[in-house]
Structure 1
């Protein structure tokens, strides 16, 4: 499940940015989007949206059924190449399972995509929550443990460039980071601590830690991983153990070792 909004990135090639935004929009709701819906949702002229959709259809990225567009099998080609580029996902899952506490919790691996994170792996050690991310889902980076860990690698100036034009921050609970000053403050705390915290920002009953996994395999981009704990079961001892085990998984991934 993903409630993240799709926006056209403000920099880079406009045509490429719009094509990516269209693919991300269609991915949010399988079953078909009309040309009018796509153009309206992204603030594009229908003629511009049609030109991009025609190119995406020719490339096998989208398919058209009468008046509706949906994703086509071609979108799996670059994703498959990414996943084949490293065994990091397999190692992540194996190491989470081998961890005493983490194996019974929810754990995720994600990458940064603008103001959102894209989840590329997950471990479900207990019943998932209604807002638990699945592989391929995109959540707001500003309110997730994985997202804040990744954003903390950017400078304050880069964060201002990324979020300065955002009039309203996505808020999924009363605890969600509401504006740029609060985000900047949270990122400074994350840099000092060496890990990020989601204290009920995505779901009121959940506490999560996030950690960076620096470039592993032949990936050029850093990952971030998190563990989500139920606040009702939270104790200082349990928190400390979760963070310690998550750091152990991070260290093993970066070293290319297996925890078994």
Structure 2
């Protein structure tokens, strides 16, 4: 239990507003959080004065204020995701070899933010700043598998949403749904030659405090170093553990610091 209940309640208000697509009336906020209406109005008044919420009188509701945007922008400038992930990816490379990546979803593409490679590694298309079709990459599908099905349908409404690179990988919404269901149940994703012939990858999702995919961690192998299918499960366990550690670092409330 927090020793500063007012702070805890104010943060709960902000999280609730952030989870909604439209402004929320004060009465609804009070009911959902189990707070007295007087307490709710007091907290909203303080947050409004500091710019963290804005009152919309015509709608009789509250939304997030510009101070939240400023904090979010400052968060991005500090590159916390990359900073937290870099040492973990370096350990992952030392342990299993191959090239480790950190990626995020950008629409229906995987955007690569970080890359750690062993000495002498072959150059891969998955470099920092590169975007690839998420349904073809292991990192992308690990994140897609952690999304609600409705969101996946919005990203892939029809066959026109699918890009082909090597003739492998899902090419219809139905194929993608089946593959994502299998990978969600297993806890990790894999691809073999979906992006580049002779290249295989395994990946796992990094989850935020709400269980949403914040990023994906993957390891890529090429040529003779590619693990056989029966060896990928053991490799995947290491990747899953790395992703879980990064999840805890992003959201310490979900577990112990690693």
TM-score (norm 2): 0.59
Aligned to 1:223: 215
Aligned to 2:121: 127
**Of the two structures, which has the highest relative contact order with CA contacts closer than 8 Å and spacing of 6 or more?**
1
SS of structure 1 residue aligned to 2:121 = coil
Kindly report which structure 2 residues correspond to 1:21-100, keeping only aligned pairs within 5 A, or say none: 81-86=75-80, 88-99=81-92
Aligned to 2:162: 169
Q: Deviations over 1:149-185 (max 9, x none)?
A: 1111223333222211452621111213222211111
Aligned CA distance change for structure 1 residues 99 and 167 (closer, same or farther; 3 Å): closer
Which deviates the most, 245-254 or 110-119?
Answer: 245-254
CA shift, 1:130, in A, is 4.5
Aligned CA distance change for structure 1 residues 134 and 230 (closer, same or farther; 3 Å): closer
Aligned to 1:29: none
Aligned to 1:61: none
CA shift, 1:238, in A, is 4.5
Aligned to 1:105: 98
1:196 is aligned, of 189, 200, 209, to 189
Aligned to 2:173: 180
CA shift, 1:208, in A, is 0.9
CA distance in 1 between partners of 2:107 and 2:93 (Å): 34
Aligned CA distance change for structure 1 residues 99 and 149 (closer, same or farther; 3 Å): closer
Aligned CA distance change for structure 1 residues 156 and 231 (closer, same or farther; 3 Å): farther
SS of structure 1 residue aligned to 2:160 = coil
Aligned to 2:144: 151
The aligned length equals 177
Aligned CA distance change for structure 1 residues 214 and 177 (closer, same or farther; 3 Å): same
Tell which structure's C-alpha radius of gyration is larger. Answer: 2
Aligned to 1:245: 238
Counterpart contact for 1:175–1:204, Cα < 8 Å = no
Q: Which runs of 4+ in 1 moved over 6 A?
A: none
Q: Deviations over 1:114-149 (max 9, x none)?
A: 111211111122423452x22222111110011111
CA shift, 1:96, in A, is 2.5
Gaps of 5+ in 1: 1-11, 13-77
CA distance in 2 between partners of 1:230 and 1:80 (Å): 38
RMSD: 2.8
